[in-house]
Structure 1
Amino acid sequence: MEVLYGLHPVEEAIRAGSGRLDRISVARERRDAKLDRLSSLARSAGVRVSVEPRDQLTRVAKTEAHQGVVAYLRERAFLTIEDLLVPAADGHHRFFLALDGLEDPHNLGALLRTADGVGVDGVILPERRSAPITATVAKTSAGASEHIRVARVTNLVRSLEQMKKANIWVIGLDERGTPDYTDFDFATDCVLVLGREGAGLHDLVKKTCDHLLRIPMAGQVSSLNVSVAGAVVMYEAMRQRQASKLNPVVQPKLAALAKPAKKPKGLGSI
């Protein structure tokens, strides 16, 4: 059984109503309004609440940073790539995030938090060589990991090819890519692919991408931390997509990148 700790992450797990939350334990030594409200919220949602010594919560959470509350969650049921590819009911352009071998749970948690913040339609994670969604990830995501739709796939390249067949653009982020991320039209169906810490995208994943975008750097370092880079591009994508709803006329320079007259290399190909 998974554990989740911290006031805000546990509150988000209760509000998510996913059915994964089995029970929560609160520290006997901590009695204050915040913890009382959380306990009341849990009981209102039909979640059992028990009182335990703080040391017991520390042993379960494996950290003293649990803020006096630990939640016990049933095993997560991941989605499949087919689940994510179901067309949006309201017909909006879908926006996905795929992570190619991210290993740091703090980076994963930060990206899930941003993904939830910008309203992505789903996150794709490979089963192997990737950080699992743990209590640390959930805490770093501030509970967003309980809201976001996550698909676990055995082969990321194959899944990206499936997305191409569904007419979803595969957009990688690479420091040697071109054009700049601000010059791409995100007001379309697309998936943003982010690579490993330090090493970036695997070669085969990079070859599968329809476009490789870069974030221009004015200083001495060549790239940003992956969670920061992902946040920069995801919020630019959200800005463009919101603007396109207000103004359906697509700027010519953006249309030339994302919607060329000829069928692009890779889109729908194998």
Structure 2
Amino acid sequence: MWIYGRNPVLEAAREGGVRRVLVARGVERKFLKKLEAAGISYELVPRIELDQLVRTTHHQGIVAEIEEIRLAGPDAPLRLARERGELPLLVLLDGITDPRNYGAILRSAEALGAHGVVSETRRSAPLSPVAVKASAGAARHLPVVQVPNLPRYIEELKEAGVWVYGLAGEGEVALEAADYDRPLAWVIGSEGSGLRRLVRDRCDQLVHIALRGRTPSLNAAVAAGIAVHWALAARRG
């Protein structure tokens, strides 16, 4: 898998998952010294080679081949929660197809302390280089799960004692009024159509984030970050 951009490549190199680094000829010497100081070996190549490799010109002159990130098993999030001695908190994605949103959700979930992000194989963005780049390294530190059937996975979580909240503008419960003192999974729908009916019907409750401005909705990644942060803050409080 190839990733690009200076910060994502430097982060991946610090984690030790980089196989090869390519740098465009003509990149400023100051940046090359930064790579050398970090002990990162690199090859100088024509910039057009990077353009063709990652199919964009927005690579900032650096591309890295990294080890493939393996998807986790369906039970990995609950297992991680048990290992930490914490109440489970999962993020389930229903129809998030933008890889940048997907990566941003992975980043927020890992940074805030959730135990895993789960999406459906056919109705979500893949764990692509774009998603990995947007996750800023989080995809390597968090169970990332893809299941063939999200409604069925929700039923399995409920059988395991996990309470499932669907985030929806028309939710009957306000974010600040929900009960977070139990195993919990947030379900985040797509920005366009929200939660599918099959998913919505399996949620224990629908929860809304109160909006006070004129903008009618939030970006899915922003909404997911708010929901995860609120749940964890409520537990600590």
Gaps of 5+ in 1: 244-270
Q: Which residue of 2 aligns with 1:22?
A: 19
Q: Which residue of 2 aligns with 1:151?
A: 145
The alpha-carbon distance between structure 1 residues 155 and 51, as it changes in their structure 2 partners (threshold 3 A), is: same
Post-superposition Cα deviations, 1:16-65, rounded to whole Å, max 9, x if no partner, equal 34x5x32221222114344433355464xxxx632222221121122222
Q: 2:51 aligns with which of 42, 45, 58?
A: 58
Superposition TM-score, scaled by structure 1 size: 0.80
Instruction: Decide which of 193, 197, 216 is 1:222's aligned counterpart.
Output: 216
CA offsets, 1:72-101, max 9 Å, x none?
134332111122222522311121111011
The 5 Å alignment of 1:179-194 reads: 179-194=173-188
Q: Does 1:164 align with 2:162?
A: no
Rounded to whole Å, the distance in 2 between the matches of 1:171 and 1:16 is: 34
**Separation in 1, partners of 2:137, 2:15:** 9
Aligned length: 236
Cα pair distance change 1:90/1:103, threshold 3 Å: closer
Q: Percent identity?
A: 36
Q: Are 2:126 and 1:129 equivalent residues in the alignment?
A: no
Task: Let me know the Cα RMSD of the aligned residues.
Answer: 2.0
Change in CA separation of 1:82 and 1:144 when aligned onto 2, cut-off 3 Å: closer
**Could you tell me whether the CA contact under 8 Å between 1:25 and 1:71 is conserved in 2?**
yes
CA contact (8 A) 1:7 1:35 kept: no
The aligned residue for residue 33 of structure 2 is 36
The TM-score with structure 2 as length reference comes to: 0.90
**What amino acid sits opposite 1:77 in the alignment?**
R
The answer to whether 1:108 aligns with 2:102 is yes
Opposite residue 13 of structure 1, the aligned amino acid is A
SS in 2 for 1:26: strand
Secondary structure in structure 2 of the residue aligned to 1:89: helix
Q: Secondary structure at the match of 2:166?
A: strand
In structure 2, how many angstroms separate the alpha carbons of the residues matched to 1:118 and 1:209? 23
Shift of 1:217: 2.3
Shift of 1:221: 4.2
Structure 2, gaps ≥5 residues long = none
Q: Which of 52, 71, 84 matches 1:78? A: 71
